[in-house]
Amino acid sequence: MSSSDAASGPGTSAQDSSPYLDALAEFVTKGRERWDTPGHQGSVDAHPLMTSYFGERTLALDFQTMVDGIDLGPDNAKQRSLTLAAQAWGSSRTWFLTNGSTGGNLTACLAMAGMGGSLVAQRSVHSSVISGLAMSGLAATFIAPDLDEELGISHGLTAQALDDALTANPDARIALVVTPSYFGACADVRALADVAHRHNAALIVDEAWGAHFGFHPDLPTNAVRLGADLVVSSMHKLGGSLGQTALLHLGHGPFAEKLEPFVVRALDAMASTSESTLLLASLDIARREIAVHGATTINRSLATAARLRYRISSDGRYRDVTDKIRTYPSVVGIDPLRVVIDTRAGGVSGHEARHLLFEGGHHLELSTDSVVVALIGAGVELDADGLADTLLGLPNRESEIRPVISLPPAGPRRMTVREAYFSAAEVISAADAVGRISADSVAAYPPGIPNLMPGEEITAANLTFLQDTAAAPFGYVRGAISPDMSLVRVVI
């Protein structure tokens, strides 16, 4: 199905409803006195400060459910909302997540262990996948994606790379890929699914950055409609729901059917038993908005992105790297709502540019040493000229700009993730860590792709990259023992 087909499919009258939210609102109108959790119990008198910040209605809608008609009983409101979500994205079944795509990845890692065999996975997975592998104990072989070392960007996998990996690992029953990338590069999911299925393996896609796909003819098609068996989707990233919310989609066919009972059991283990009604309702609302109105409202987001790209390319100081990204073999499409700008080409590093833009009133999603990334949420219109004016007005420091912080390849794997994660370990000076085995998952964040992974040998290049990142403006290293990466935890 083409993206335009997907965009027109969900926009039906049935999608123009929000059963879960409506059930919550109806419950509130009954005026029942609340003798349950959460302990604020909607009391304005007891919580005037919270009320002043969030509003009385927010407190009223934040209650513990487990109520017939809302989330219990046949044909309850939550189940109807989940059915609408499955129809909107084309899945056989969809679940709401209130612990983000991190929770989706952890769930997927537990579920995939039930398939037997081993896993082949794209090396640029999110750090939550590594935590999931430590929990599940699943043995994994990692495949290096296309890598732009100069710009610090990981792309995706080609079908050939996946075929080679599955041929070399005939016991693998799961293939895990990331698309779109953190920088908007889209891999050929249909070809990847065909390869995985030919090798008797299910395809799981971390589509955290693609929740909006398929709801406008100028956007790529989502992974479920392209044949993926299980898809993790961060609705809060570009789809419009509140932060920390995500979706988990089950595909169609025998691999999805085999995964389903393991997914259900894994969700029972990973999901909160006190899920936030506010977060769940935001997923219901965002699904309704994008399914019914996305084909129209996303036009203004595309116009914002196009205007920003025009301003950057017409000035000539910086470089829109979209065309460069397209040259990589694994890239068959681009998410137009992410604008990746090479600021180093204009005499300022990506990290410094992001810092200076923040001081100038613009908060961008992420940076590498060479680029900044601006996101435009689906349906949102932003001031492209305001950002462009500030960016083009940044000082040119070409004469003093330091050497590029290049993204190095991963070190060789010496142990499985789980073996290293639970091994005896010690914290040592980074200067003494080269050649030792990492016990931790350590990642420049965002995007959160581990640069050191449990079980991998620590290389001097990776340590230097992380230390330079930590020292840069807005630099942050997730999982670091010390903020400056002067200390590292290693396997004894």
Residue that the structure tokens 């990331």 belong to: 178
Q: 129 and 208, same structural domain?
A: yes
Q: 200 and 271, same structural domain?
A: yes
- Is residue 297 pLDDT above 70, yes or no? yes
What pLDDT does residue 144 have?
92
The mean predicted confidence, pLDDT, of the chain is 93
Q: 243 and 184, same structural domain?
A: yes
Tokens of 353: 């540019």
Q: 228 and 210, same structural domain?
A: yes
Examine the fold and report which residue of 288, 317, 334 is the final residue of a domain before the chain moves on: 288
Is-cis flag, bond preceding 180, omega within 30? Answer: yes
Answer whether residue 30 is part of any domain.
no
- Total of domains in the chain: 3
The pair phi, psi for residue 78, each rounded to 5°, is: -65, -40
Examine the fold and report which residue of 253, 288, 323 is the final residue of a domain before the chain moves on: 288
d(CA 489, CA 279): 36
At 8, is the pLDDT very low, low, confident or very high (cuts 50, 70, 90)?
very low
At 6, is the pLDDT very low, low, confident or very high (cuts 50, 70, 90)?
very low
More confident residue, 137 or 472: 137
**Planar angle of CA 299, 301, 302, nearest 5 degrees:** 65
Answer whether residue 135 is part of any domain.
yes
The pair phi, psi for residue 247, each rounded to 5°, is: -130, 150
Q: 305 and 284, same structural domain?
A: no
d(CA 391, CA 382): 15
- Is residue 228 pLDDT above 90, yes or no? yes
What is the distance, to the nearest Å, from the Cα of residue 271 to the centroid of all Cα atoms in its chain?
A: 18
Residue that the structure tokens 């890929």 belong to: 177
What pLDDT does residue 400 have?
67
Answer whether residue 58 is part of any domain.
no
Do residues 369 and 344 lie in contact, with contact meaning Cβ atoms separated by under 8 Å?
yes
Identify residue 308 by its one-letter amino acid code: L
Tokens of 169: 């690992």
Encode pLDDT of 447-461 as tens digits: 778 899 999 999 999
Taking CA atoms, 409 is separated from 123, 124, 142, in Å, by 10, 10, 12
Examine the fold and report which residue of 244, 262, 288 is the final residue of a domain before the chain moves on: 288
What pLDDT does residue 56 have?
96
Residue count of the chain: 492
Q: 277 and 172, same structural domain?
A: yes
Q: 235 and 103, same structural domain?
A: yes
- Is residue 287 pLDDT above 90, yes or no? yes
Q: 437 and 313, same structural domain?
A: no
Answer whether residue 355 is part of any domain.
yes
What pLDDT does residue 9 have?
44
Q: 191 and 339, same structural domain?
A: no
What pLDDT does residue 323 have?
94
Answer whether residue 406 is part of any domain.
no
CATH number at residue 200: 3.40.640.10
Is-cis flag, bond preceding 19, omega within 30? Answer: no
CATH number at residue 339: 3.90.1150.150
Do residues 177 and 206 lie in contact, with contact meaning Cβ atoms separated by under 8 Å?
yes
At 339, is the pLDDT very low, low, confident or very high (cuts 50, 70, 90)?
very high
Beta bridge partners of 427: 489
Burial (CB < 10 A; 0-12, 13-18, 19+), residue 492, is exposed
- Is residue 186 pLDDT above 70, yes or no? yes
- Is residue 477 pLDDT above 60, yes or no? yes
User: Please, what sign has the CA dihedral across residues 218, 223, 225, 231?
Assistant: negative
Encode pLDDT of 46-66 as tens digits: 999 999 999 999 999 999 989
What pLDDT does residue 449 have?
83
d(CA 381, CA 387): 13
Question: Which secondary structure element, helix H or strand E, spans residue 248, and what is its range?
Answer: strand 246-250
Q: 300 and 282, same structural domain?
A: no
Q: 453 and 327, same structural domain?
A: no
What pLDDT does residue 399 have?
55
Answer whether residue 64 is part of any domain.
no
Beta bridge partners of 203: 175
Encode pLDDT of 147-170 as tens digits: 888 888 899 999 999 999 999 999
What pLDDT does residue 5 have?
43
Residue that the structure tokens 């005896």 belong to: 424
Is-cis flag, bond preceding 446, omega within 30? Answer: yes
Strand, helix or coil for residue 56: helix
Encode pLDDT of 73-108 as tens digits: 999 999 999 999 999 999 999 999 999 999 999 999
What pLDDT does residue 82 have?
98
Query: What per-residue string of b and e applies to 262-298 under the rule 16 or more CB within 10 Å gives b?
Result: bbeebbeebbeeebbbbbbbbbbbbbbbbbbbbbebb
What pLDDT does residue 482 have?
93
- Is residue 4 pLDDT above 60, yes or no? no
Q: What is the gyration radius of the CA atoms in the chain, in angstroms?
A: 23
User: Please, what sign has the CA dihedral across residues 45, 50, 53, 56?
Assistant: negative
More confident residue, 13 or 19: 19
- Is residue 416 pLDDT above 90, yes or no? yes
For 450, the domain range is: 417-491
- Is residue 240 pLDDT above 60, yes or no? yes
What pLDDT does residue 415 have?
94
Do residues 333 and 314 lie in contact, with contact meaning Cβ atoms separated by under 8 Å?
no
Taking CA atoms, 276 is separated from 138, 151, 271, 309, in Å, by 31, 39, 11, 38
Mean pLDDT of 468-484: 86
Q: 345 and 427, same structural domain?
A: no
Answer whether residue 29 is part of any domain.
no
